[in-house]
Structure formats: C-alpha cells, structure tokens
Amino acid sequence: MSLKAQNKTTPIGPNVSNYLSQITPADRQADCRKIYSIFMDITGWKPKIWRRLSNIDRDILKEIMQKALDIIAEKHPI
C-alpha cells in the first residue's frame, strides 16, 4: 500500500501542437509558436497542457513566468 499523495495537477487535453493550430488570428498563433520554440530550446522539455490552476497557483505561476520572460528577453532579444 502506497501512502504517497496524488499529484495536484495532471496533463490533460490535446497535445500542444494541435492546440496551437487552433489559435487565431494567425499572428497570435505565430507568437505562441515562437514562445513554444523558445521554451523548448531553453528547457529541453516537450510542453504539455495541464488542468486549470487555482487562483493561488495562478498568481505564483504569473510571478514565475515573469521571471522566465525576463531571462528569455535577455537571451533572445527581439
């Protein structure tokens, strides 16, 4: 018997590439694909779609994403 708690988040839904192909307008889709590519280059991880976050998780994620975007902006200037 395992007493390990279940993960609070689990990957769900379509794969990321299929999801990105549904984004409109085309320029927004292109921006999303560029971010997808940059994150894969930096992390080496294949992105996944995760279930909805709580408000607290969302606030923490925003803070983490801002820090990540600052690092990306330094390494990949537009």
Tens-place pLDDT, residues 21-62: 999 999 999 998 988 888 888 888 888 887 766 666 677 778
The whole-number pLDDT of residue 52 equals 66
Closest by CA to 68, choosing from 45, 38, 23, is 38
Answer whether residue 17 shows pLDDT above 80.
yes
Could you tell me how far CA 31 lies from the centroid of its own chain?
A: 13
Please, what sign has the CA dihedral across residues 28, 29, 33, 39? positive
pLDDT of residue 26: 95
